[in-house]
Structure formats: C-alpha cells, structure tokens
A and B are shown apart, each in its own frame.
Chain A
Amino acid sequence: MLTVEELSNKLSLEKISGLENMDNVISGVYIGDLLSWVMANIKPGNIWITIQTNINVVAVAVLGEAACIIIAEDAEIDESTIMKSNEEGIPILRSSLSAYELAIEINKVSNGSI
C-alpha cells in the first residue's frame, strides 16, 4: 500500500495544494492531457500525471476519483486551480520530471506493486 504522502516524499515532489488528503491510497497511474480521454479512462485511486494545469483538471480528478494529480515538467499552475483543489481536497503535486520519467520513478518506488 502506497499513499500520496509516501510517494510524494520518495520522489521529492513539490506539494502544492489539496494537502489534507495526502493519505489517499494509490492504485495505478494514468497519463493524459485531453480531458475527455482522461475522464473516460482514469480509474479510482489512480495517480494522474498531466501538464494540463487549468481549473478543469480538478473536476476531472474529483469525478474520476484520482488519488492525486502530478503536474509534470514544472508547468505553471493557475491560482484558480490551486484554490479549487483545496476546496475539493484533491492533492496537487509537481515535479520537474517528464510524465515518462515520473512513471518510471513511480514504478521503481512502488516495486511495480501499484
């Protein structure tokens, strides 16, 4: 079992917002930037890796029951997105790594178990 908090510490992710739910348990990863693709395919408990940072990502994460959102490649995050994720309690984390590199690191720290 891996929580968002543990993952975040292991990968030294920047903790941005929605931090009261860092104990969400992670199962699986979904990568995507087209919202209707993400909506259709993300599974509850997934980490969602994206470079999309506008407010609409929060609604997709909430409805898709993502464990957290990781913003890749240090993309700049809208203030409204941060506010909404705090309201909704969806953790947003950020990394300088690309989506691909993040996926590899996540696989390593979870020993492929998520």
Chain B
Amino acid sequence: MEDVRKIKVKYMVEKDDFMRAGQASSNIKKILKKLGLDSQILRRVAIATYEAEMNIIIHSEGGFIELEIHPDKIRINVEDNGPGIKDIDLAMKAGYSTAPNKIRELGFGAGMGLPNIKRCCDEFNIKSSLGEYTRLELLIYNK
C-alpha cells in the first residue's frame, strides 16, 4: 500500500539575517536528497527555495518557508509579514529590482529571483497585499 503520510517542515526566516541566509533552502535540499529525489528536481527546488528565502531576508519583514512532501509532488509555501508587492507583474519582470545599493554590492538585485522561481516550478502562484503579506505557492511535480 502506498504511504500517504505527508512530511511537512517549516522554517522561520528573519529579516536581514544574512548570516543564516540559505539555511532553510539547504535543509530542504538535504531532506529531499535523503529521500532519493531525482537530481534535476533537487536543483529546481534548491533554486526556488533559495530565491524565496533571500527575498524574505532582503525585501520583507520576515516570514517562513514551508515544505510539504507528497508522493507525487513537492509543495513549497512561502509567506512573509509584508510590506507586500505593489505591482506583481512588474516584480515578475526579469531585471526589475528595487534592491538598494548596499544590497547590490553583495551580489543581489539582478531582478532574477522571482523569474527563476517561476521557471523552476510546475505551478507558481504569487499573491500579495500591500502592507500585509507576500505569499508564494510553489508546486514541483515528482514524476
């Protein structure tokens, strides 16, 4: 019989926490690697979670990344506590970034994070409410 239990793990991500940046995505990758997932899928999950994690650290007031492992798919829920995105279409454009200079000097701000996430996912959903939250719902099929 198929094991229908799903695994769920949640990582808190703090604003401006560059010292621990990448930790949540590294942990998620380790878990999936242990489960023996295909390396192409691992790569896509790693890119998507890393970019989402950095966006929380750089652009938000803090939030979380939640991993759900289903038999046929990986679901990643990302949510932060604002400030939200005013124009989502603009934010999704490759090359668009509001990162300030001191962040750009660290190598961020190419405006490629959100487009990279979308490219890596089979289903991509972004919702945001100004002053409240930004929420990503990401699905990567495990076929």
Contacts and interface: CB of A to CB of B under 8 A. Distances in A.
Interface of A: 33-40, 44, 50, 52, 54-60, 62-64, 80
A39 B47 contact: yes
Interface of B: 18-19, 21-23, 25-26, 29, 39, 46-47, 50-51, 54, 106-110, 112-113, 116, 119
B26 A52 contact: no
Given A34-B112, A40-B112, A80 B19 contact: yes
Contacts of A57: 107
> Secondary structure at chain B's binding surface: helix, strand, loop or mixed?
helix
Contacts, number: 66
B94 to A, nearest CB: 10
B29 A36 contact: no
Given A40-B116, A44-B39, A59-B25, 18 more contacts: A34-B110, A35-B54, A35-B108, A36-B51, A36-B108, A36-B113, A40-B112, A40-B119, A50-B107, A52-B106, A52-B107, A54-B106, A56-B106, A56-B108, A59-B22, A60-B50, A63-B50, A80-B19
Contacts of A52: 106-107
A36 B21 contact: no
Contacts of B113: 36
Contacts of B50: 39, 59-60, 63
Given A36-B113, A40-B47, A54-B106, A63 B25 contact: yes
